[in-house]
Structure 1
Amino acid sequence: MSGWVAIDFETANCLRGSPCSVGLVKVKGGRIVEEWSSFIKPPDGYDHFEARNVAIHGITADDVRGAPGWRETLEGIVQFAGGTPLVAHNAAFDMGVLADACWASGLAVPDLRFACTLVLARRVWNGLLSYKLPVLADALGIELARHHDAGDDARAAAQVMLAALRRQGTDSLDHLLAVHKVRMGSFQGGVRQGCAYRGGAPRAPSPDADPDADPDNPFYGLTVCFTGSLPGMTRAEAAERIAALGARKAGDVTGSVDLLVLGGVQPHQLAPGATKTGKHLKAQKLRDAGHDITVIDHEEFFELLAAAEG
């Protein structure tokens, strides 16, 4: 399958059913052939704009006044994709936006398949400390003019997937995923199956976490450490929420830590002359020594949390 469409949403507020912008990039035969983006008027009841979201993407209520609503936008997405799979960076979030906007609008979620460049990149390029889209784009020499512009992010996600296909020497999305043991995600009859790596040993929830957590969520079975402060969330709340997802919180970075979340840090909290926290430096040393530890910032943590809890 050499045809697919990269997609990215921006949302008006913390509710995933509040899309206010979408970007789409169509790929055929290993090259970008068409692009489309649009503002969206979020569904009623989901259409308030929160300051945090506006600060991230710059879209306001005035920008979407007169924009197409979700029903018209969804029709445009389906027509643009033409039955080919969707591709997104952190597809759990973007597919959650699509599904929640449908539910908020009283519409059925269309049957579709999707792949995640975040999941795949961690298998294709396994030496990076972070796989956030701007970091990954920079590492691969991909231009990302405006992060959190839906069109620019969709284009960057398309180029990441194209780079992975070239590295594998194929133009088939299905073949690339099969080689790296990544399962294609899907919606069938409104039921979602996530895009996930299936090649490792089955993960078990941490002993002090919820044993009934969804094993397909991105935190399941992980040991997570935090450094710095999380805007609007205490460490205790973060620990409680990841525990409900089958993860556990660690107090320091050791070889057992899978994920380090970088919060905000004030200069006076750093050692003299340092630009990174001690935990961040430890994570870098562990990565250099061959440990599989990932570093994300608080923005990506909130996006993953929203996707996992949805």
Structure 2
Amino acid sequence: MLTDSVSIVTRTEVRRQSRARGYAVLDVETTGLDPYRDRVIQVAIRQISADGVTESVWETLVNPGAGVDPGPVEVHGLTSAHLAEAPSYQEVAATIAHHLRGRVFVAHNAAFDWAFVSVESDRAGVRLEVLDWLCTMRLAKVLALEVADKSLATIAAYYTVEQLKAHDAGDDTRVAAEILLRELADATKIGVALPLVACNTARHRVERTVRRWFSRLGPARR
């Protein structure tokens, strides 16, 4: 199985790349933890320019399909009734791809969010034009922040960013975007390069296809 490769680049290269690309900060809520067996039920994206300006805010609920259990309602608060009139991922896949196109993908625990969005987009037949991701959790470790843990809530508190509704994709994306800006400022101040992770090479796409195929062979979970 392939593993993500971390590309540590110089400050000059990071600035050059960011000027050209900017950031797309994303969060998803899902029916479970396995991107090959579970589904996205809410997604939010904030486009942030390289100089820290919010360029757009977009979010939607996602209907995972008839009869699909919405998962841990006690965590995300989304019931089947909430999702019944929402569009399917297939219906919003092109919009998601548009908001991500050409940008650095950013999330808190980015491996999780990228896995779900990339697999759902593959399933919908929509290509994501993303090269790499930047994880605000991983960046907190690189910055050696003096915090008890690297959860979104803990790092938000460290940077005095107020959380209004935890486990809501829209608010979690807002919080992650504010954390990103503070972390980028700290990284520049102390001369730390950004831990960009290559995530969407041809080999990654082939691996996702193979894993999706094998996931169909297992017993249905819902």
Same topology, TM > 0.5: yes
Q: Is the 8 A contact 1:111 1:188 kept in 2?
A: no
Q: Which residue of 2 aligns with 1:165?
A: 184
Q: State the distance in 1 between where 2:73 and 2:152 align.
A: 19
Unaligned runs of 5+ in 1: 171-175, 193-310
After superposition, what is the alpha-carbon deviation per residue over 1:77-127, rounded to whole angstroms, capped at 9, x for unaligned?
111233212100001110111133235x35255241211111111111432
Q: Is the 8 A contact 1:146 1:152 kept in 2?
A: yes
Q: Is the 8 A contact 1:111 1:189 kept in 2?
A: no
| Bigger Rg, structure 1 or 2 | 1
Q: Which residue of 2 aligns with 1:110?
A: 128
Q: What code does the residue aligned with 1:167 have? A: D
Q: Which residue of 2 aligns with 1:70?
A: 89
Q: Which residue of 2 aligns with 1:120?
A: 139
Offset at residue 191 of structure 1 (A): 0.6
Q: Which residue of 2 aligns with 1:184?
A: 197
Q: State the distance in 2 between where 1:109 and 1:74 align.
A: 9
Higher RCO, Cα 8 Å, sep 6+: 2
- Aligned pairs, how many? 181
Q: State the distance in 1 between where 2:184 and 2:129 align.
A: 25
Q: Map residues 237-276 of structure 1 onto 2, 5 A cutoff.
A: none
Deviating beyond 3 angstroms after TM superposition, the runs of 4 or more aligned structure 1 residues are: none
Q: State the distance in 2 between where 1:9 and 1:184 align.
A: 19
Offset at residue 154 of structure 1 (A): 0.8
Q: Which residue of 1 aligns with 2:63?
A: 41
Superposed CA RMSD:
2.3
Q: What code does the residue aligned with 2:59 have? A: S
Unaligned runs of 5+ in 2: 1-17, 206-222
In structure 1, the residue corresponding to 2:172 is in which secondary structure? Answer: helix
Q: Is the 8 A contact 1:109 1:190 kept in 2?
A: no
In structure 2, the residue corresponding to 1:110 is in which secondary structure? Answer: coil
Q: Is the 8 A contact 2:61 2:87 kept in 1?
A: yes
Q: Which residue of 2 aligns with 1:23?
A: 44
Offset at residue 14 of structure 1 (A): 4.1
Q: State the distance in 2 between where 1:109 and 1:15 align.
A: 21
Percent identity over the alignment is 25
Within the candidate set 154, 160, 168, 1:141 is matched to: 160
Q: Map residues 186-201 of structure 1 onto 2, 5 A cutoff.
A: 186-189=199-202, 191=204
In structure 1, the residue corresponding to 2:145 is in which secondary structure? Answer: coil
**TM-score scaled by structure 1?**
0.54
Distance 1:60 1:125, change over 3 A: same
Offset at residue 43 of structure 1 (A): 5.2
Within the candidate set 87, 90, 99, 1:80 is matched to: 99
Q: State the distance in 2 between where 1:161 and 1:59 align.
A: 27
Offset at residue 13 of structure 1 (A): 3.2
1:150 and 2:163 correspond? no
1:131 and 2:150 correspond? yes
Q: What code does the residue aligned with 1:31 have? A: V
In structure 2, the residue corresponding to 1:153 is in which secondary structure? Answer: helix
- Structure richer in helix, relative to its length: 2
In structure 1, the residue corresponding to 2:163 is in which secondary structure? Answer: coil
Q: State the distance in 1 between where 2:188 and 2:57 align.
A: 25
**TM-score scaled by structure 2?**
0.73
Distance 1:14 1:181, change over 3 A: closer
Q: State the distance in 2 between where 1:73 and 1:109 align.
A: 13
Q: Is the 8 A contact 2:47 2:55 kept in 1?
A: yes
Q: State the distance in 1 between where 2:70 and 2:77 align.
A: 11
